[in-house]
Amino acid sequence: MRNDRMAIGYLEDATVRVGELKRLFEMKRFNVVIREAQEGVELALKAALRWVGVEPAKVHDVSEILLGEQDRFPRFFRDEIVRLAEISRKLARERGRSFYGDEEGGIPASELYSDSDALEAIDDAQFVLQLCRELISSKPGG
């Protein structure tokens, strides 16, 4: 069952998170960029799943769900589904580290990421958000 209101709400929240990434980058809070990019990607992809009638699981990485449900999406979105899944998987793996750091090594999260890591996360998040916006602005089932 589709839930367009929830999908749009998730997309709006994703837009806020992704919109903050440049400011966080300028503050050199690269770990926070990673964390916010992950949350933005998660919300945008869950919006896309809801848009096509899939209730997303309460997990941070929706890559397997995307791949399993790819036939529900229009061609332009399906053409990028592998890349979307890779981005989801990659950022979800960094979710805890970007927040808590390397607890075993005693390294704070702020020391784990470089500017290039943050720029890659920004590019990935912007790509995901743009594609999900395009999906949600298209006709249902289109």
Domain layout of the chain by residue ranges: 4-137
pLDDT in tens, 110-137: 999 999 999 999 999 999 999 999 999 9
Amino acid at 9: G
pTM confidence score: 0.94
Q: Per CATH, which fold does 4-137 belong to?
A: Four Helix Bundle (Hemerythrin (Met), subunit A) (1.20.120)
First and final C-alpha spacing in the chain? 16
Structure confidence at residue 66 (pLDDT): 97
Mean pLDDT score of the chain: 95
Report percent pLDDT > 70 for the chain: 96
Residue 25 CB contacts under 8 Å (≥ 6 apart), including other chains: 33, 115, 118, 119, 122
Q: Using CB atoms within 10 Å of the CB of residue 74, give its burial: 0 to 12 exposed, 13 to 18 middle, 19+ buried.
A: middle
Mean pLDDT across 57-75? 95
